[in-house]
Structure 1
Amino acid sequence: MKQMKRKYVVGGVLVAGLVLPVVCAGLVIHSFWDPFGQTAKLPVAVVNEDQPVTYQGKRLAVGQQVVSQLKHNHELGWRFLSAREAAAGMKHNRYYTVVTIPKNFSQRATTVTDSQPQQMKLTYQTNASLNYIGEIISQTGASQLNTAVKRAVTKAYALSMFQQIKSSGRGFQTAAKGATQLKDGTVTLADGMNTYTTGVTKVKNGLLQLSTKVAQLPTGVRQLRTGSGQISAGLGTLQTKVQPLASGASQLSAGADRLATGSGQVEAGLQQLSVKTQPLVSGVQRLTTGSSQVTAGLEKLNRKTGALASGVVQLADGSQALAVSTTCYVNGVYQVNTGLHTLATGAQSLSQAIDQLAAGSQTLAGQVAAGKTGVTTLGTSVEALTTQSASGSAGLSLLAGQASQKLKQDLGTLSAALSGSNQSASRLSRVQDKANQLSGQLTGNDESSTTAQAASKLKTAVAQLDAGDQATHTGMTQAEITAKVSSVAAATKMTADQKAAMTSALAGAGQTASADTATSSAKTAVSTAANDLVKASGPTSGTDQTAVKQTVTSLKRDVAALAAQGTADQGSSVQAALAAVAQDATALQGVFAQAQTLMATQNAALGKINAGVNGKDSGLVARYQKLITGTQQLDAGLQQTHTKVPTLAAGINQLVDGGQKLTANGPALIEGTQKLAAGTGQLNGQIPTLTGGVTRLVAGSLQVTDGLGLLNGQLPALTSGVTQLTSGSGQVHAGAQQLAGGLGQLTGQVPTLIAGVSKLANGSNRLTTGLTTLDQQAPQLVSGVQQLATGSQHLAANSPKLIAGAHKLTTGNGKLATALQGGADKVKATPLTSRTAAMFASPATLSHERFSDVPNFGHAIAPFVVVMVTFLGLTGLVAGFDYRKQLRTPRQLATLTGWTLLQALITSAGMAIMLHAAQPLAFMSLTGLFALAVLVVELVLRFFMGRAAVLVVGVLFFLQLCVANGIFPVQTVKTLYAPLAKFLPITYANLGLTEALNGTGISTAVLTMGISAAVVIIVVGSALIGFKIMRPNESVVNEAQD
């Protein structure tokens, strides 16, 4: 019944694996069939607050025109509401977008020709929290609305400009008539200009001749006036200087005499100077050499000032640190001195004694712990043995009961088969009696309960024995331990508190008075309980293995006789029943053998427990003897410590004396270090001044050295100049004497010169006055004549230009009239209609040509859904076969492959029919190839990675879902693992199924990369799977690990 039920369950799972992918794929595609074809149901609110205006004499209401157009637009679900209703709807998530046409929408449309035009603003508010895709669709609708508004406004602008162009055309016609009249007037103007040019030429010739003659007059007058002025000025100057000349000649004569005298004195002084310059040269050279040496020494000193300053700073820091450290040192000396006084009281001796006593106590505790561990281990072994005995007995009882029940059932079957023969019935009765006897021998009545009671008693006795061991701590009584503590306290001069602390630490370390008695009685109880358990675990009711074997042999013999009789009477049915009875008897004998083995093992363990309990005394005595020895060693160590205390006290006293001397000298040491720190601080403060002085001294020395070098270089020139000056002074003295003689003669002729100069000065002044008046009037005459000549030249030169301008004016007016008339004609001929305005508003249209047709969103995602459902379906099949352990043989793998291909073909066929695939066979073939490739990959992962392959398959599914879903282009998926799309099988499967569905044909990328990669994966994966199956031992090991 269970097998049939299991078959139904497995069959249902397989059928679900075939049907569910088709159903799931159909539901998913149907849910996304055409979401963009229902945008007319998407609610979008429109609020029109625009106020109409008058533009060029016409009423302009752009907002009302937009609303009228939207009422005939069914691309979105437009709702025309007030601002309050729209705000409330947006708040309650009733609308995806609210489009608002402001009050000044039409008014801003009229500012297109203003100096500062204002753009029309169409605002919209979106609700992304309601649905993001809905927001995108609403934004697209708002953009289209804005485009429609721009087209309408542009058309209105164009019509308005057309009216202005027509008005301009009429103005061009009027201007053309005026230009024709201007052309006729300019012809008359050209005739008068010819007569005017002839008269201007005659005037120009006469003025040029006059200008040539007059130009020479100012030059002559100016020359006369200049010469007369110079003569007059010279004579005036001469007249004023004659009188001082007379007095100056007298003074000059006297000065010449004094010059002759002084030059003689200068000559004598220069001769002395020449003699003294030679020693000056050698002295300056020695001074220069010494100055250079001084400068070199100062520079060396200047280079060392940095090191000097650094050393002083280090000295100051070191002195400060020394002062601080000295204070700490003195404080430490005080503390050491105090500690040494305390140490002298004997605390150190007490500490050493207590340390040795603690070490002895640890030795005692270790010995006691060892004894306790043995007893604990014994109790644990008894508990384990008790548990195993109980579970073994219960298990054997269960096996015996099952075997007996099976034997009874087979005997009933045999009885029914032998119902037609009296002889067979009697033999069957004997077989049943022996079977009942064998069952009684094996099962018994009170075996389990007796064994359990004996095990419980043994566990209680071991616990009592453990308690008795825990009561025995040391080999000494508590009174002996207290006496030892008092002896140590008296020897080491302990205080009352120290003695009380040691007594409290060793409290309870002595053994109890009744330890031996309790241990003896506990041992007796353990031995008794163990013997009772041995008795209870033996064969029940006196039955041993020999009796059981005899019963089984007799039973088999009767069964053989029945077999011979049954073969002659009933045939094969009796033979089968007798074989079953024989097997049951053999099974009962095996159960009994297991019981005998278990009981023997249990009895051996109980014997070891008795031996352990009986031999326990010797181990405990040995441990407690070691405990006593450790206590004696502890006492000896304390005595030895006591003898060393006087020596320690003497050493401590010496330390105390030395500490007192250090303490007495501490203040003086601190004072000295403080003075050292203060001095180094002052020295450090003066270092910058010293460094600055040395630097300035070096600079000054360099200047002195440079000056002396310059002076030394100029001394030869000085010596030469003094020599030359000496020789020249003689010549000066001789010339001064000659000058004095000539000045005497000049002084006698000065009065005659003064009278002649006065007469010349008066005549020259009158001549200069007349020439000045003539010179002032001549420029005005020349300027007037030149201006007349220049003007006539300009008139004569520009007359041709004037005539040419008149001709150009005539020609230009003709062209202007012709052009204006042509412009007016073109404006009249231009078709400025409403269609032309529409062309301005929308000059271009968009033509869409489809390379491949995808009717809706359902067709777009169908290949991806088919691939993912196929992936999940075959993953479920692999998991089901793995769970049933049916991935071991080639036949099982072939079965899985068949189911996988069947599932892929059913899914792809259903989708091809549902979607009206253009190439259904290619659609189904690609789906089957993809399913087979993925199956091989999952099987390889399962064989080589075990259950961890589930994680790898999950990662592959996640990656393919993220980067190869076909919904968005892979270039727009901005993730780190997006480049993995070209290495995933679903990418090429999705592309191939899309091409097969749309009928564009299988592309080269799918053929060369996708299909080739799938074939390679199938071949290589199949080889790996075959290699794995051919090694059954390794497969068994892997399954065991799983």
Structure 2
Amino acid sequence: MIKAEWQYIKQHKLMMIVLIVVALIPSIYSVTFLRSMWNPYGEMNRLPVAVVNQDKSVNYQGKHLAVGQSLTTNLKRSKALDFKVVPSEQQAQNALKAGKYYMVLTVPKSFSKNATTLMASNPKRMQLNYTTSAGHNYTASKMTNSAAGQIKDQVSHEITATYAKTLFGAVKQLDSGMQTAGKANGKMAKGGQQLKSGDAALTNNLNKVANSSLTLANGSQKVTTGLGQYVSGVQKAQAGNQKVTAGLTQFESASQKLQSGATKLATGATNLNGGVDKYVAAAGKIQNGSSQLNSGMQKLNSSVSKMGSSTAQLNNGMTAMASGLGQLSTSSQKLSAAAKQLADSSSTNTAAMQSQLDSLSKQVAGLNSNDQAVKSLDKSLTDLKTAVAGLDTNDKDSDLSSKVSTAADQQKLTPAQKSAMLAAVKSSNDTHQKANTAAVTSAMNAVNSSVDQLTHSMPNSNTTAALSANLGKMKAQQTAENGALNRLATGSARLSVHLVTATQSANQLNAGTATLAKQTPALVNGVGQLTNGSSSLAANSTKFAQSGQGLQAGATTLSNGMSKLNSQMPAVVASTSKLAAGSSAVGNGLSKLATSGQTLAAGSNKVANGNQQLANGVQQLSAGSKKLGSGIDQVTGGAQQLSTKLGTAADQANVDPDHATYQQVAQPVKADHTELDKVPNNGTAMAPYMIAVSLFVGAIALNMMFNMYLPKAYPKSGFDWLISKMTIWLPFTFLESFLSFNLVCAMDGLRPLHFISSFGIIWLWAIVAMALVTLLNLIFAQIGSFFSMVLLVIQLGGSGGTYPIQLSNHFFEAIHPWLPMTYAVEGMRKTLMMYNNSAWLQAGVLIGVIAVLITVMWLFYSRRYVQLSQIDFENPKAVAATQNRLTQRMAKVAG
């Protein structure tokens, strides 16, 4: 039977390969899974964590405190996690959401500030903010939470050490203060003894003062009586002094007025002296001037007498000149009118000539093309000559000269004036007329000559051009003549205006000369009287100058006397002022003396009363001094005791802390950890669990690939059938256990403390898993694999392979003792990583489970063996149908 099973495997090489591959499944599972999580806690320095430092440094007891910066620097140096400093909170949060970081550690702005509030009325805790994202990785969030707690403990340790330094500094200051207070209390005790001695002396002296105060009270009554008489005499002296002061005040006021008047009188005398000097000088000048005035007036009188006859002649000449200018103005106006008529007549003739010249120019322009135009041109030239001759005749026959002559006769001008005016008008008119006529005649001759040439040499264009040019010159000359006549008319008008103005000025001059002629006799008489007065003035000015000299001598004497008087007045006034001030001061002193006398009398009464009270008070003070002596004894004893106690307290407070002291205060408790077992990493801790799971999976795989029911030969018995199958899966369990255990040790670095024991537990569990899965597959055929997977899941949750079973729910905690994997995991933990721990209990449980499972399998095979003996063994389907009802149904379907 056993030989048949192995003979089948040998004949089927593929089955051999399948068995080997299936034996490697637990190794692949356990080695790969454990490798992925072998030492995560040893690689924490690769876990990225963002650090955002927003802390603001502060000054604390004269020192710069920047806890946030110090923490950030320490974290960057730390290898606990991969700390990355991020400048912005928002940037760090975004990276956390994206899975770039597993935690964001934020140091708030008030981190250092809150560290200084320990002794404040409202101390604030230092808050350290951290954010995790468990959604990305829950285990990582737990790791970072643990790291955040360690960071908090570290910061708390540093801050507590700082507080300890501050506290011990204050203790040192307290020690110094207590020593000083102790010494001071010692001095106080000594002073109390001295005070006690002084108090005794004080008591004796107070008794003497009490006796003396009675004598003092009697004497003060006599002083009061004498002061009353003294005050009465002072009041009388004060009344007499007031009268003296009033008289001196009046005298002082009068002396000041006298000084002011003397000053003004001296100033007036000085001014008078100066005025007299000026008067004498002016009198001399008047004397000289009056002599000169008298001489001049004699000459003026002689000249005025002669002026009378000349004034009459001047008046007659001015009258004749005014009459002549009036006649000349009238003639000039007529002349201007005649010149204007001549200019208008010339303009009319000029227009006619211009019309003829324009017609002639047009005819000359058409000369080359029409022979009849030449004849017309010749006729026009003849007409033009006639017009020019008529112009000359009109000018000669003009009545300009007759009109000028008539105007001269009407104005009754002299023949010489009339001739000169006619000659000027005729000369001007002839000059312009002859010049213009000659120019026109010259141009006409040139045109006539051109026409003749045109007649003989037509159609010569040069002759025509010359003719046109001559016609243009004639028009220009005529225009110039007309302009000259217009200028003549304008000049005549301006001459008329100027003659009118001259006539008006001559009339005014004539009236003035007439007035001068009438007033001349009066002027002669006045000048004669003025001459006689100047003679009298010259005679009296000499006497006036002589009397001024006597006046100057008297003014000088007066000025000198007033100066001496003025120089003596300040001394008089000053003496009077001092006398008045002294009298006033005496009056004030007497007033104060009278007032003080009254105050002194009142004070004397008070002194008498006070002396009586003093006597009573001294007696009371003497009694109190005795009580003070008793109190001083108590103060001295207390001060001595306090000095002793303060000295003792100062000795106790005298400490010399160092770094160890500060660390003791900051971290007073130290944990002493003793590890009983050896678990170097997470992979070692997880190895029992993963190896148990992988071997169970290997059992499921083998039962899926190899049929544990069908025998390869007819079995002799049920037990023979069982043994034949066990010879297959039992070596398989050894192989898979050996490969899995050794490959984990070789490839993952597992270092078991008890190598043989560990392998023994592993093989026992492999047998249990194989027997359990095989039994399920025997009983339930193909459905047995499904029940095996369900059982595996139940054992994963209830065996306590990852977390303590106490952390699971009640269901898994209840089934935990009844699961074979529970004992397999515990047994491997004890053999792999625990010192001085026996796994015999777990091994015994597993062996018991194996025994039970194999017994059940033997019973199963034995019952099926009866059915197997009744069918044809050569029919595999019939043999398979004997396993259970399901296989029977499947066999029928297949048949």
TM normalised by structure 2 equals 0.46
- Greater C-alpha radius of gyration: 2
Q: Give the TM-score normalised by the residue count of structure 1.
A: 0.40
